[in-house]
Amino acid sequence: MTKKVLVTEKLAQAGLDRLAEKGLQVDVKLKMSTDELIEAIPDYDALVVRSATHVTREVIAAASKLRIIARAGVGVDNVDVEAATEAGIIVCNAPTSNIVSAAEQTMCLMLACARNTAQANASMHAGEWSRGKFCGSELYEKTLAIFGLGRIGGLVAERARAFGMHLVGYDPYCSPERAEQLGVALYDNMEELLPLADFITVHLPKTDETIGMFGPEQYAAMKDGVILVNVARGGIYNVDSLADFLAAGKIGAAGIDVFEDEPCTQSPLHEFPNAILTPHLGAYTYEAQRRAGVQIADYIAAGLEGSVVPTALNMAPVPPEVMDAVGPYVPACQMMGSMLAQLGGEVPKRLSLTASGKAAPADATILMAGTLQGLLSYKNLATVVTPVNAEAVARRHGIRVDTGAHASAGAYSSSVTVVADGREIGCTLSGEDQHVRLISLLGYKVDIAPGPQALIFQYEDRPGRVGTIGSILGDAGINITTMQIVNDPEAGQAIVYMNIEGELDDSVLAKLRENLEDLKNLWYVKL
């Protein structure tokens, strides 16, 4: 039976043609409401969207045949990826389709702001010849600060270098080797970087950390007359305070292509002629639209055939024989990656993974991809890791990865162990529901199911420690749900893994540190 694809937003004709070439039936139904989509979706095997269609949990629940959701672009904020994963539906995108277009739009806005191009154009159309009002600035030998040195930030660096600009950057996840390759002087904190820049451009994902990342304090620290550009995600610059600093002349100009709420027809920036505003044109070129359409068509065909989809966001498109052996361990590896990120603080230089027992014969690439996803997404939710790009992602972040296998998992039928710069975590799956259990932690043998939040203590083993911990947590209204204590008599050390319930703040952690003598480590882990 011919498989059916529903396209709810405009897709380049080349993409529609490619779908037809693959033998798929394509129905284009634009501007569907959520209710209309819920009614229609049961008939379709694949869904193609852009940014306007909201693929909610309710839509996914109604999609009885759906096997793949494809976003013809980069961001998937409008797709409930968790619900799709639970339903076994692949979610993919076309993350490289528009990177050149976005980089060029960044340079376009930088130049327009520097040379007063939009204002001069408006003056000419008004019948004026006011050359004296529009004296601009060169990019040559100016300092450009790039926040985010991923694919688009890297392309901007290459182009800005061709203009003779001095490049500085901030990206906690960029390796020094990559920054050096791009010709960017990498800084560890924003405070040192902000006063240096004549131009600032952001190429960051939309996360809790990046929304409002630039506000009054950051604007005040910038060089007088600085030019700001945003072709990434709306909300990274606090628009209200940006308008205040434009009005005061502290910020010379701003080129803004993206907004928190789109379409945006009114904002505090609209009254300023030196705020160059464009309606989300970063990816909107003929080339990018065609590229996205063709890529998405190929990914849909691969997903419906059961092949690997290179940009799958939820790791679903893996051959059945691999999924049977290691598939249940993927969320466990994501959990271990997240935990290692919280235990170590920094992105590790080396990451190794060993699959043992029944998990040993299978390709461990998917497990490493899951581990990297958990590790990198703890603070950078936009990082997408699949078995196809795991090695490249690791290399980009300066991580050396390797995998191994052991025929025996000891007392367990199977297990997976991950080591990041010497910090080790191991887990197994238990019961019919394949629940995750930690079986090793930092060299200690444990056996406990991790909860949503936990405290991990490492201290000199002495009587009364657990009582002190319990009293402090009890006074703060924190409930201990499960706990395990493991001793190392030779070292005189003990480790405590404690699942907890309740809101735990920094003051409680500080009190624990103050009252526990010879405390070696204390970690608060959220999973």
CA 172 to centroid of chain Cα atoms: 13
Choose between 326 and 240: higher pLDDT: 240
For 16, the 3-state DSSP assignment is: helix
Q: How would CATH label the architecture of 319-450?
A: 2-Layer Sandwich (3.30)
Torsion sign over Cα 113, 118, 120, 123: negative
pLDDT at 381 over 50: no
CA atoms within 13 A on the CB side of 81: 16
pLDDT at 465 over 60: yes
The two structure tokens encoding residue 33: 């409401």
Determine whether 159 is an active site residue. no
Please, is 431 exposed, middle or buried when counting C-beta atoms within 10 Å of its C-beta (0-12, 13-18, 19+)? Answer: exposed
Determine whether 280 is an active site residue. yes
* Closest by Cα among 114, 100, 92 to 48: 92
User: Among the options 36, 158, 262, 346, which is catalytic?
Assistant: 262
* Closest by Cα among 87, 18, 71, 63 to 301: 18
Determine whether 178 is an active site residue. no
Cβ(443)–Cβ(458) below 8 Å: no
Q: What is the mean pLDDT of the chain?
A: 91
1-97+284-317, CATH topology level: Rossmann fold (3.40.50)
Number of H helices, E strands in the chain: 18, 22
Give the length of the chain.
Answer: 527
User: Among the options 151, 233, 397, 437, which is catalytic?
Assistant: 233
Q: Which one-letter amino acid corresponds to residue 154?
A: G
Cβ(233)–Cβ(258) below 8 Å: yes
Q: What pLDDT score does 320 carry?
A: 56
Tell me the average pLDDT across 474-488. Answer: 92
Parallel, antiparallel, or unpaired for β 166-170 and 143-147? parallel
Give the phi and the psi of residue 280 in degrees, each rounded to 5: 55, 60
Q: List the single range of 268-272, 315-319, 413-417 with lowest mean pLDDT.
A: 315-319
User: Among the options 115, 159, 280, 423, which is catalytic?
Assistant: 280
Q: Residue 229: enclosing H or E segment and its boundaries?
A: strand 226-230
Choose between 21 and 395: higher pLDDT: 21
Q: What pLDDT score does 362 carry?
A: 74
Cβ(160)–Cβ(107) below 8 Å: yes
What is the largest distance, in Å, between two alpha-carbon atoms of the chain? 87
Tell me the average pLDDT across 333-337. Answer: 91
CA 121 to centroid of chain Cα atoms: 39
pLDDT tens digits, one per residue of 286-310:
999 999 999 999 999 988 876 668 7
pLDDT tens digits, one per residue of 176-206:
999 999 999 999 999 999 999 999 999 998 8
- DSSP for 118-138, written as a single string: HHHHHHHHTT---GGGG----
pLDDT at 379 over 70: no
Q: How confident is the model at residue 396 (pLDDT cuts 50, 70, 90)?
A: confident
Percent of the chain scoring above 90 in pLDDT? 72
Q: How confident is the model at residue 386 (pLDDT cuts 50, 70, 90)?
A: low
Q: Do domains 1-97+284-317 and 99-277 have the same CATH topology?
A: yes
pLDDT at 316 over 60: no
Sequence ranges of the domains in the chain: 1-97+284-317, 99-277, 319-450, 451-527
Query: How far apart are alpha carbons 31 and 52 in whole angstroms?
Result: 8
Q: What pLDDT score does 317 carry?
A: 44
CATH superfamily of 451-527: ACT domain (3.30.70.260)
Choose between 368 and 218: higher pLDDT: 218
Q: What dotted CATH number matches 99-277?
A: 3.40.50.720
Query: How far apart are alpha carbons 47 and 38 in whole angstroms?
Result: 12
* Closest by Cα among 100, 74, 78, 97 to 14: 97
pLDDT at 383 over 70: no
Cβ(396)–Cβ(360) below 8 Å: no
Cβ(276)–Cβ(242) below 8 Å: no
Query: How far apart are alpha carbons 118 and 116 in whole angstroms?
Result: 6
